[in-house]
Amino acid sequence: KIYELYFKNQSPFKQTNFYIDTENFKLKQHQAALRIRVKDYMYEMTLKVPAEVGLTEYNHSVNIEP
């Protein structure tokens, strides 16, 4: 039912997520996370860090279209 209500007119897509940290988990120790998301020809790097309320996200996108 959720599909019919919200996603019926959406085309499926594939994305891959890479989560990055140091060998001794320094980012995790600081409640931070670094992700690289690959979707089609776009790479998006997201850094999430603690904020006064919730998390602050910093994003950088790169188009690698041939």
Distance of CA 19 to the CA centre of its chain: 9
| Residue numbers of the domain that contains 29 | 14-63
How does DSSP classify residue 6?
A: I
Q: Per the domain annotation, does 51 fall within a domain?
A: yes
Q: Per the domain annotation, does 52 fall within a domain?
A: yes
Looking at the structure of the chain, the number of domains it has is 1
Q: Per the domain annotation, does 18 fall within a domain?
A: yes
Q: Per the domain annotation, does 3 fall within a domain?
A: no
pLDDT for 65 equals: 80
Q: Does 66 score more than 80 pLDDT?
A: no
Q: Per the domain annotation, does 37 fall within a domain?
A: yes
Element (H, E) at 19: strand 15-20
- Could you report the per-residue pLDDT of 3-56, keeping only the tens digit for each? 888 888 888 889 999 999 999 999 999 999 999 999 998 999 999 999 999 999
pLDDT for 1 equals: 83
Q: Per the domain annotation, does 8 fall within a domain?
A: no
How does DSSP classify residue 30?
A: T
